[in-house]
Amino acid sequence: MPALSVVIISRNEEACIARCLRSVLFADEIVVLDNNSTDQTRDIASGLGAKVLITLDWPGFGAQKNRALAAATGDWVLSLDADEWVEPPLAAEIRAAIANPKGCDGFEIPRRSRFCGRIVRHGGWSPDLVLRLFRRQSGRFSNDTVHEKVVVNGKVSRLSHPLEHDSIADLADAHDKIGRYAQASAARMLAEGKKSSISKAVLRSVWAYMNSYVFRLGFLDGSTGAMVAAYSAGYTYQKWALVALGGTSRCAEESRAGVNGKSAGFRNRPG
């Protein structure tokens, strides 16, 4: 049976890291690369048998995950964020896939995300396919500072059981992620020479709300769909408004330092 390594990056994830780690105890190795947590994240991870490594600097999500990947030794790698977890049906499917990959070098996994504890089935959040399982020698992470992805050299197939994701824990978490990811995204866009204006930021945020709630059927999720649409609109406005203003000192900081190393929970986002 090929060996499986799970790789996770973390920073101050004591609220969710245990759930994540307990769900992958079937793996041969768990690597947690921690970015200078000040809570109990590292102690919890060590207590559950993970190999815990520490970095003090923050190079961005892609580079940090490649550091974790470099510490893995298994034939296959499963990459998780600390706010994700694997239920038994997916665990069995992962074991079967690496035992008989049928010529595949990577597998996409459908992800089932939650907003304030409620599963989001529409609004552009589902289906949410993420490439997370891959041969260690065939894959790596892109070097994007935020919204990184796995790049696999070879054939990619798809699993059927979902990866569980607690994307937004509560409204305070939503507010925090909007601010952090808007700063990081704006910094990247400014570096790429993107232009905007406040009026364009407003129009883009209105479109983000309508796209999520109406065109992508978010209204079928009721009040949760409305909150998801408002979340998308808020993120879109802040990101493009920062670009219009040419960035701030904090935006420049984010360009150098990323979004502080917490799990990349804000995946289901507008453009």
Structure tokens at 82: 């600390």
For 229-243, how does the pLDDT look when each residue is reduced to its tens digit (9 = 90+)? Answer: 999 999 999 999 999
Tell me how far apart the alpha carbons of residues 214 and 199 are, in angstroms, rounded to a whole number.
22
Candidates 227, 198, 196, 202; CA nearest to 212 is 227
Candidates 145, 16, 161; CA nearest to 80 is 16
Determine contact, residues 89/235, Cβ cutoff 8 Å: no
**For residue 20, what are the contacts with CB-CB under 8 A and spacing of at least 6?**
8, 80, 81, 82, 83, 84, 85
Residue 267 is predicted with a pLDDT of: 45
pLDDT band per the 50, 70, 90 thresholds, residue 248: low
For 54-98, how does the pLDDT look when each residue is reduced to its tens digit (9 = 90+)? Answer: 999 999 899 999 999 999 999 999 999 999 999 999 999 999 999
Give pTM, 2 decimals.
0.86
Q: Which amino acid is at 67?
A: R
pLDDT(249) > 90? no
Farthest CA pair distance, the chain = 57
pLDDT band per the 50, 70, 90 thresholds, residue 135: very high
Mean pLDDT of the residues in the chain? 91
pLDDT(145) > 90? no
Provide mean pLDDT across the span 146-169. 95
- DSSP single-letter state for residue 96: H
Tell me how far apart the alpha carbons of residues 217 and 243 are, in angstroms, rounded to a whole number.
29
Residue 247 is predicted with a pLDDT of: 61
Candidates 37, 35, 34, 32; CA nearest to 21 is 32
Distances (CA, A) of 37 to 32, 55, 59: 12, 10, 15
Domain annotation for the chain: domains and CATH numbers: 4-168 (3.90.550.10), 171-256 (no CATH)
157, β-bridge pairs: 107
Residue 250 is predicted with a pLDDT of: 45
166: phi then psi, degrees, rounded to nearest 5: -95, 75
